Amino acid sequence: MPLREAPGDLPALQPSPGRPFGLYVHVPFCFIRCGYCDFNTYTPAELGGVNPDAWLQALGTELELAAARLGGPSVSTVFVGGGTPSLLGGERLARLLGMVRDHFVLAPDAEITTEANPESAWPDFFSATRTAGYTRVSLGMQSVSPRVLGVLDRIHTPNRSAAAAREALAEGFEHVSLDLIYGTPGESDDDLLRSVDTAVDTGVDHVSAYALVVEEGTALARRVRRGELAAPDDDVLAHRYELVDARLSDAGMSWYEVSNWSRPGGECRHNVGYWNGGQWWGAGPGAHGYVGATRWWNVKHPNAYAELLAGGTLPVSGFEQLDSDALHTEEVLLKTRLRQGLPLDRLGDAERQRAQTAVADGLLVSEGERLVLTPRGRLLADGVVRTLLG
């Protein structure tokens, strides 16, 4: 069937040549929903018609339409996230990457990441994805404490995450990342330190550590509201962040974004693209894209997504054109959180004056022509951004 796009679904896109271009693919499947998670993901019981193969076919159509829209920019990073990409298995993820290559030109040194859950990623998975050309794997570890994993509804055993990371390294992945969550109700300092040490001991080159966010509408939020669990305490979260940072720094990992640490060369280039003015196409249900000054987002439900693509229509739900004010806010918000800092020349006169106040308060430091968060500033990054923007 000839492909057709509904008129008005997305304005003409003009990728800016100087900005790196990435591709994000959203896999909307999970075995169960963890109580804290509000990502756009569905368990088998929540899905009617769409199975992983039907979704993959729809994705292929979206990639074909995307390539026709974009006029073939060279893709420097691919990130397959979720949801749980490892639920697809290595063979389907290999097919997925093959479809990307059918429609896009990947840079010779492209970074190609897949997320994976410890309970659905085993040596054959890592071997198949590595052989297919994936260069990086990001595993959701969260904690090694059985108590914490229980509160988070994680279904893997405490030891499985570190074992999976070691297996990924043994199968030839040079870049492996582990995600941690800190501040879960019932977590102790010792639980967290054991988790960080276990992550470091595996030999991975990247760790992300996120403060637990109680997202509205989740099972965790309901439990907090009923008084079954205490909400994470800000002072405890700040202390735990300092523990994570100290332990990772001692182990030779440096922060390059407020929630991300790596060994030299282990930074996630795809995510740096998001934070540093890059452009990307977001494929899959609910995925967001950003090209030129246009941001758009896809329909969220996998069934609606597949139906639109079966009719040859881009599954876009809405879009916006960012004006210069919105672009500036976004730049300050994202670059302030990076270790390389915010270039001073991006700020107006009033903002520079407010920046001096933040410097005097010990939240920012000037490094040459850039403003960089201090350790205390990293704990209060959102407030620093608000101060700068006035």
Binding track over 125-144 against ligand SF4, x by CB under 6 A: ---------------x----
33 binds, among ligand SF4, ligand SAM, none (CB under 5 to 8 A by kind): ligand SF4
Cβ–Cβ under 8 Å, residues 152 and 184: yes
* 244-264 as b/e: b if 16+ CB within 10 A: bbebbeeeebebbbbbbbbbe
Residue 117 sits in the site that holds ligand SF4 (CB under 6 A): yes
Position among 5, 19, 39, 194 found at the interface with ligand SF4 (CB under 6 A): 39
Question: 10 Å Cβ neighbour count for 373?
Answer: 24
CB of 289 to ligand SAM, least distance (A): 18
CB of 113 to ligand SF4, least distance (A): 15
Residue 41 sits in the site that holds ligand SF4 (CB under 6 A): yes
CB of 213 to ligand SAM, least distance (A): 4
Position among 13, 30, 141, 176 found at the interface with ligand SF4 (CB under 6 A): 30
Cβ–Cβ under 8 Å, residues 50 and 300: no
388 binds, among ligand SF4, ligand SAM, none (CB under 5 to 8 A by kind): none
DSSP letter assigned to residue 232: P
DSSP 187-214: --HHHHHHHHHHHHHTT-SEEEEEE---
Q: How far apart are CA 23 and CA 72, in angstroms?
A: 12
Q: Which is nearer to ligand SAM, 212 or 355 (CB)?
A: 212
The helix (run of H) or strand (run of E) holding residue 112 is strand 105-116
Cβ–Cβ under 8 Å, residues 301 and 285: yes
Cβ–Cβ under 8 Å, residues 209 and 187: no
Q: Contact residues for ligand SAM (CB under 6 A)? A: 36-37, 39, 82, 84, 115, 117, 140, 142, 179, 181, 210, 212-213, 215
CB of 292 to ligand SAM, least distance (A): 27
Residue 37 sits in the site that holds ligand SF4 (CB under 6 A): yes
Q: Binding residues for ligand SF4, how many (CB under 6 A)? A: 11
State the pairing for strand pair 175-182/136-142. parallel
Q: Which is nearer to ligand SF4, 122 or 319 (CB)?
A: 122
CB of 131 to ligand SF4, least distance (A): 25
Q: Which is nearer to ligand SF4, 51 or 74 (CB)?
A: 51
Rounded to 5 degrees, φ, ψ at 240 are -65, -35
CB of 159 to ligand SF4, least distance (A): 18
The residues facing 23 across adjacent strands are: 78, 281
Cβ–Cβ under 8 Å, residues 390 and 328: no
Q: Which is nearer to ligand SF4, 117 or 198 (CB)?
A: 117
Q: Which is nearer to ligand SAM, 257 or 351 (CB)?
A: 257
Handedness of CA 308, 309, 314, 318 (dihedral sign): positive
Binding track over 64-103 against ligand SF4, x by CB under 6 A: ------------------xxx-------------------
Angle at 29 between CA 28 and CA 34, to 5 degrees: 105
190 burial via Cβ count (<10 Å: 0-12, 13-18, 19+): exposed
Q: Which is nearer to ligand SAM, 73 or 81 (CB)?
A: 81
209 binds, among ligand SAM, ligand SF4, none (CB under 5 to 8 A by kind): none
Q: Which is nearer to ligand SF4, 149 or 371 (CB)?
A: 149
Q: How far apart are CA 77 and CA 357, in angstroms?
A: 38
Residue 34 sits in the site that holds ligand SF4 (CB under 6 A): yes
Binding site for ligand SF4 (CB under 6 A): 30, 33-34, 37, 39, 41, 82-84, 117, 140
